[in-house]
Structure 1
Amino acid sequence: MSTITRMHGGPRMSQIVTHNGTIYLAGQVGNATDDVAAQTQTCLDKIDALLAEAGSDKTRILQTVIWLADMSDFAAMNDVWDAWVPEGHTPARACGEAKLATPDYRVEFTVIAAQS
């Protein structure tokens, strides 16, 4: 049986789960008082740190799912995303609109990546 490793776990979820060389990150949100661009950058910074801790980086992202509280923020979020994602390493991606945990959250990212 292969090992499942859970990091930064609490009663509801773990921030990182690894299994068979694949990394699953919990949804990442920014600071609720920030605009969507700043929230996006905070999310991506968190993703960088969590992937590094799990033995990977953004060039190894397989899939990203992005939830926006309002699709009118799509362009502003993409401006930050496009500057962050490495050319030639764009993952499979989906983006949709959803109510997030609080009305002040504008964006949330989930990531699946391969370990290095």
Structure 2
Amino acid sequence: MIHRHIKTEIMHRVVEYNGVLYFGGLVAEDCSQDMKGQTEQICKKIDNILAHFGSSKEKLITAMIYISDFSQKSGMNDSWLKWLHAEHLPTRATIGVANLGENVLVEVVISAAK
């Protein structure tokens, strides 16, 4: 059975199916920060939502990270690697995009086991 959670105007933030949590794109609340700071905010947001659904970052399966400025990618990687232990790294793709919205430098889409 499919369970949809945290409805927004255009989507559900999390869809649960067969023990897997699928997240819609997550962005930082304070977009005045650089990519490193925005990534730190997103990681905290992921921690909170995963905990709400009985999961954790150790159960991440995959991540797609969209960035709008490759010159700041190392800052994003620093935050990501500070947040996740090496033994729990999910599969990951980093995708460059032209525009994520005003001052949004990074958007993260993940899936995690429950």
TM-score of the aligned structures, taking structure 1 as reference length: 0.92
**Residue number in structure 2 paired with 1:12:** 10
RMSD: 1.1
Q: Distance in 1 between matches of 2:73 and 2:100?
A: 19
Q: Kindly provide the CA deviation profile for residues 15-35 of structure 1, in whole angstroms up to 9, marking residues without a partner as x.
A: 111000000011111122111
Where does structure 2 lack aligned partners over 5 or more consecutive residues? Answer: none
Letter of the structure 2 residue corresponding to residue 28 of structure 1: L
Q: Kindly provide the CA deviation profile for residues 74-114 of structure 1, in whole angstroms up to 9, marking residues without a partner as x.
A: 10100111100122111000001113431300101000011
Give 1:61-80 correspondences, 5 Å limit.
61-80=60-79
Letter of the structure 2 residue corresponding to residue 110 of structure 1: V
Asked if the contact 1:63–1:111 (Cα under 8 Å) also holds between the matched residues in 2, the reply is: yes
Asked if the contact 2:100–2:107 (Cα under 8 Å) also holds between the matched residues in 1, the reply is: no
Q: What is the DSSP-based 3-state SS (H/G/I as helix, E as strand, rest coil) of the residue aligned with 1:28?
A: coil
**Residue number in structure 2 paired with 1:82:** 81
**Residue number in structure 2 paired with 1:48:** 47
Q: Distance in 1 between matches of 2:98 and 2:63?
A: 18
TM-score of the aligned structures, taking structure 2 as reference length: 0.93
Q: Distance in 2 between matches of 1:32 and 1:100?
A: 13
Q: What is the DSSP-based 3-state SS (H/G/I as helix, E as strand, rest coil) of the residue aligned with 2:25?
A: strand
Identity fraction in percent:
32
Aligned residues: 113
Q: Distance in 2 between matches of 1:100 and 1:85?
A: 27
Letter of the structure 1 residue corresponding to residue 83 of structure 2: W
